[in-house]
Amino acid sequence: MKNDNEKNSGQSPDNSLELDEEEQGISRRKFLGTAALVGLSGAGLSVGLSSCGKGEDKGAAPAAPAQPSAEVHPGQLDEYYGFWSGGHSGEVRIMGIPSGREIKRVPVFNPDAMSGWGVTNESRAILGTNKDGSLRYTTGDTHHVHGSYKDGTYDGKYFWVNDKIHSRIARMRGDTMETDKITELPNVQGFHGIFPDKRDPVKPEVNYTTRVFCGSEFRLPQPNNGTNMDDTDAYYSLFTCVDAETMEVRWQCKVDGNMDLVATSYDGKLAASNQYNTEKGVVYANMMSAERDSCVFFNIERIEAAVAAGKVSKIPGSDVPIVDGTRAANADPKTAVTCYVPIPKSPHGVNASPDGKYFVCSGKLSPTASVIELERVLHWFEGHTKEPRDAVVAEPEIGLGPLHTAFDNRGSAYTTLFLDSQIVKWNIDAAIKAYAGDKNVKVVEDRIDVHYQPGHLNASMNETKEADGKWLVIGCKFSKDRYLPVGPLHPENEQTIDISGEKMRLVHETSVWPEPHDFIIVKRDKIKTRQVYNMDEFPLAVKDINGSKIERQGNKVTIHLTSVAPAFGLSEFRVKKGDEVTIILTNHDKVEDLGHGFAIPKYNINFIVNPQETKSVTFVADKPGVYWCYCTHFCHALHLEMRSRLMVSP
């Protein structure tokens, strides 16, 4: 018979066979987990095993009729926005939650043929170009999306996302949900973890995001110019602080080992990054021998004081001030800028509890989740605590392959178990009591199977003071048999779980194009979008509806063009072969959702101009002939007639 999870998902594990959970679901899950363990053991690794994931009730309780449904009826709106990374597509995806409907794909680091991102002059200026005018990069790898804060919760103003490949950070405006700035971080590679601060600790009256913190995974020789590549002991990583408004790099902090993800405290005093490969290995076999790695904490106020006092160094060729955060330079807690808290083993992820008291950091090669009390970290910095490890107040065994943790508003944590293909729900206070010696408390509250090998998860309003404990979404790295086969590249699988009751309940799943990573779930009332632009914001705008014209200066031709459905302001524009042509297009329509496209055949040009928006493109007219420019975005009953002619004379 099917278990409750399979009933709720609407699918049987196998369309041709009706096997029960014991015969099929667990056997397949056992195979997946065993295969992963064999791979680890084949590399000579020591993996901590726990029986806590076995022998307990892993299924969800029967659904109560009063529990919410993920269904959002036609014409109704979702309760939350979901902001998803797009992985190596280089984009950000916006979803409706709980329905799981994809609403928009925001091009960030990826050229986009639909919108013209990477084609228009404005987008190319943000993406960055080489001296010959070509795009500096055409690939990206987005992992973590996070929003700006005010008073400890999302304010909807900005969203940031990283590019792991080229060490770039991009900012997306919350009102237009479009990328407005991109900064390439100097001196780092493998930029992975990212998190904005929740308030400014140096200015207590400032209770909103002023900085974004960025961790780097890959240790590098410095300067990385090919002169010192073989001295791997001298490689190091840098933690980077970026100004939230200017998007300029403010400072960097040198650390031992590498860094993975990032978390920040609600009082603005601390940021942290979990660390694996504290062994400083440069080959696979040397990266996982230590039984404990670290979660490194950064004392933001002390770092910024050191920068202000000039207690910094600089890498040749870079003007960014660097503070020394290595262990050797920070032995005295009273002057230290960093604190390295030992965590078993190869931790993957660090997350802040909504009450502001704890960070949870899980060792992916240990069956444990470590609860770090932030007050004790601050006590270490003040010299009141002898060992950084004393900041760990709980370390429950929760299952195999723990990765990331989310929270509700009732004191429970939810952690992905990659090897067990489960989400485990556990109680933080109970874990602290058990760690202190109380053997009568129940730490693990529930488990639920997911399909398969879960990675990132997030709960509604997670890591804000308004975490509401309604929905949990989990991204699974493998879909296996969940969807129609589409060739060797499978989709990934994302599942929505109702966490409003004592038992978790799987209510929805959907396929997603690979490979998304992290995401956040934000109440829709936090986001205030604009439906129509303000024409005054665009310096090149053709403000006069009758102002379409052609200007020539030598071989440079500028075409000032308007659009009002269903016509462009000029029916034709004539240029000569070899002319450098710039087309400036302003959409004069004021109606919501009435955008126009503009495409030129054979010239690789297509872009969209939204109501009251202006965009421009520049190209060389190197092909004589007639080229019909047409509107690519449906706008009017006479949409097909909305055309103009580019006439290129020999």
Architecture label for domain 535-649: Sandwich (2.60)
**3-state SS record for 16-49:** CCCCCHHHHHHHHHHHHHHHHHHHHHHCCCCCCC
Nearest to 119 by CA among 625, 642, 630, 599: 599
Cα 326 from Cα 337, distance rounded (Å): 9
Residues in CB range of 209: below 8 A, 6 or more apart: 148, 149, 150, 155, 158, 196, 197, 198, 199, 244
pLDDT at residue 54 in the model: 38
| pLDDT of res. 68 | 77
pLDDT in the model for residue 29: 46
Residue listed under structure tokens 């990573």:
517
- The strand pair at 643-649 and 572-576 is best described as parallel
Instruction: Name the strands in the sheet holding 412-417, side by side, starting at the edge strand that comes first in the sequence.
Output: 402-407, 412-417, 422-427, 444-449
Per residue in 365-422, pLDDT (tens digit) is: 999 999 999 999 999 999 998 899 999 999 999 999 999 999 999 999 999 999 999 9
> What digits encode the pLDDT tens for the residues 182-233?
999 999 999 999 999 999 877 778 899 999 999 999 999 999 999 999 999 8
Domains of the chain: which residue ranges?
A: 535-649
Whether the Cβ atoms of residue 467 and residue 452 lie closer than 8 Å to each other: no
Query: What was the pLDDT predicted at 442?
Result: 97
pLDDT of residue 200: 87
Q: Which two tokens stand for residue 54?
A: 């076995």
Which positions of the chain have pLDDT values less than 50? 1-61, 63-64
Secondary structure class of 535 (helix, strand, coil): helix
Q: What is the pLDDT of residue 547?
A: 96
